[in-house]
A = this chain, B = another copy of it.
Amino acid sequence: MTGAATVTLTAPPGMPLVRPGDDLAALISTALVAAGVSLQDGDIVVVGQKIVSKAEGRLRNLADVHPGEAARRLAREAEKDPRLVELILAESRRVLRTRPGAIIVEHRLGFVCANAGIDHSNVAGEAAGDESWVLLLPEDPDGSARRLRDQLQRMTGARAAVLVIDSHGRAFRRGTVGVVIGAAGFPCLLDLRGEEDLFGYRLRVTEVGLGDELAAAASMLMGQSAEGRPVVHVRGLLYPERDESSSELLRSAEEDLFR
């Protein structure tokens, strides 16, 4: 690189409210075109998990959920609706911590997050305003990212990478940040170990969470507007194309000093 490295992130307006069964790739493609963005090879499309989950029909109505004893007990501890807790448990491998308002779990997808990523979410149409609808994470966010990537390539001809992201709280630090939960065509973990540093005399020991850094970057734009901007287009970031899943970002419980 000789000139200035420049990365541009664009959050197109005009994404409609997404409903179960919607063709998400078509909605994204249309919104990008309307914003004057023509997708190119090497671009990255970052998508908030909520619209992926909605398109995939991951809405559940609490009226249909019958909490068991474990859920009712945990619900008292966490001061939450036992039906919601039943769904949280069904989406989780195990509960790590509980405090009023939050149940920190190891999600079935492997990451640690609050309330299994389930949210009383915005629901469009006839169900709007009905607090009994909640939204689960996508069944297989890596698969969702792969399908979106392939569909966008068919529609536009361009081979872009796709990230599906969510916002997670963290140990030690306040504030949620964007993190990757699904990826296609992007190296979420960049292994710099063995590369020489600036002076050529020392080997680096770092693995960089590049996917999470990009998720955080895109998340800034998604949160910038009260109307919601669930899609962010990224251009200019150099990265080696790889087909690893987002799971390379997950530290196993055995390797983790804080679980």
Binding site for B on A (CB under 8 A): 1-13, 35-37, 97, 99, 101, 104, 111-112, 120, 122-123, 128-129, 131, 167, 170-179, 188-190, 192, 195, 197-199, 201-202, 205-214, 216-217, 219-221, 223-229, 237-238, 248-251, 256-259
Chain B residues, CB < 8 A from A217 = 7, 9, 213-214, 216-217, 220
Determine which of B7, B36, B220, B248 lies in contact with A220 in the assembled complex, contact meaning CB atoms within 8 Å. Answer: B7
Q: How far is the CA of A206 from the CA of B221 in the complex (A)?
A: 16
Name the residue in A219, A250, A258 with the highest tally of chain B Cβ atoms < 10 Å from its Cβ.
Answer: A258
Would B175 and A208 count as touching, CB distance under 8 A? yes
Name the residue in A37, A120, A129, A209 with the highest tally of chain B Cβ atoms < 10 Å from its Cβ.
Answer: A209
- How many copies of this chain does the complex contain? 2
Would B227 and A171 count as touching, CB distance under 8 A? no
9 pairs, A vs B, C-beta closer than 8 Å:
A5-B229, A112-B171, A120-B202, A174-B250, A177-B212, A177-B213, A198-B226, A198-B228, A216-B217
Would B174 and A251 count as touching, CB distance under 8 A? yes
Indicate whether A258 sits within 8 Å of B1 (C-beta atoms), given known contacts A212-B216, A224-B238: no
Interface of A is mostly: loop
Would B172 and A111 count as touching, CB distance under 8 A? yes
Indicate whether A257 sits within 8 Å of B174 (C-beta atoms), given known contacts A5-B225, A6-B10, A9-B6: no
Would B97 and A209 count as touching, CB distance under 8 A? no
Knowing that A4-B13, A128-B199, A214-B217 are A-B contacts, what are 6 other residue pairs whose CB atoms are under 8 Å apart, sorted by A's residue number? A8-B8, A111-B172, A170-B170, A170-B209, A176-B206, A198-B227
Chain B residues, CB < 8 A from A5 = 10-11, 13, 221, 224-225, 229
Would A257 and B209 count as touching, CB distance under 8 A? no
Would A199 and B122 count as touching, CB distance under 8 A? yes
Chain B residues, CB < 8 A from A199 = 122-123, 128-129
Q: How far is the CB of A184 from chain B (nearest CB, A)?
A: 18
